[in-house]
Amino acid sequence: MPPRHFLAALLLANSALTVTAQHTVEPIPEERVRHEVALLLAHTHVAQGVNADGDLTWMALPSWGLNYNFWISPKWAIGLHTDLINETFKVEENLSEEEAAPTVERTRPIAPALMVSYRPHHHWAFTLGAGQEFAKEGELLLMRAGTEYTIHLGGPWETSGSLAYDFRFDAYDSWTLGIGITRTFK
């Protein structure tokens, strides 16, 4: 990841936290919240993308996230987190032992993952899980780890920022940065 992209992402995240730090709406009492559904608008970043000329390039691909969580306790949840990359793209396999790594094309892949979430604080959650990416070219097994920062908006609504890293076995890695809206239910 180029240092300027990392610095820009860090500054954006810091400014978002600074702006919202003054927000004091109380979170929903934890005993009432059992289910939550979140819709995220995101960009998925792939370091080993291949452009039309066949050269390696960094790609930022538009994507959506749809997450469902069931809170089994105030701090622990299980859920299904699904990412949809809204473009067709080519990547170079990152774990290939060959001299010239093969190129893999992915057509609008969808990647659901079964996740476990841990919320040590009412704003922060950490996630870990596994799933599979589906595209017309085939399936790829993946591991996903991430973090979310949520802000209660009032009533059953929250907004969140999300950062996740996907490791696709024998294929490519990506990280996703998104912002979303969450609706909680009993």
Residue 176: per-residue pLDDT: 97
Low-confidence stretches of the chain (pLDDT < 70) are 1-33, 95-100
E strand residue ranges, the chain: 35-50, 56-71, 76-85, 88-92, 103-107, 110-118, 124-135, 138-154, 157-168, 173-185
Token pair recorded at residue 64: 């959506």
Q: What residues does each domain of the chain span?
A: 3-19+30-185
Confidence at residue 183, expressed as pLDDT on a 0 to 100 scale: 96
pLDDT of residue 9: 52
| Measured distance between the N- and C-terminal CA atoms of the chain, rounded to whole angstroms | 41
Distance of alpha carbon 83 from alpha carbon 133, whole angstroms? 9
Buried b or exposed e, range 81-111, using 16+ CB within 10 angstroms: bebbbeeebbbbbeeeeeeebeebebeebeb
Question: CATH code for 3-19+30-185?
Answer: 2.40.160.20
Region label for 17, one of left (φ > 0), alpha (ψ between -120 and 50) or beta (otherwise) = alpha
pTM over 0.75: yes
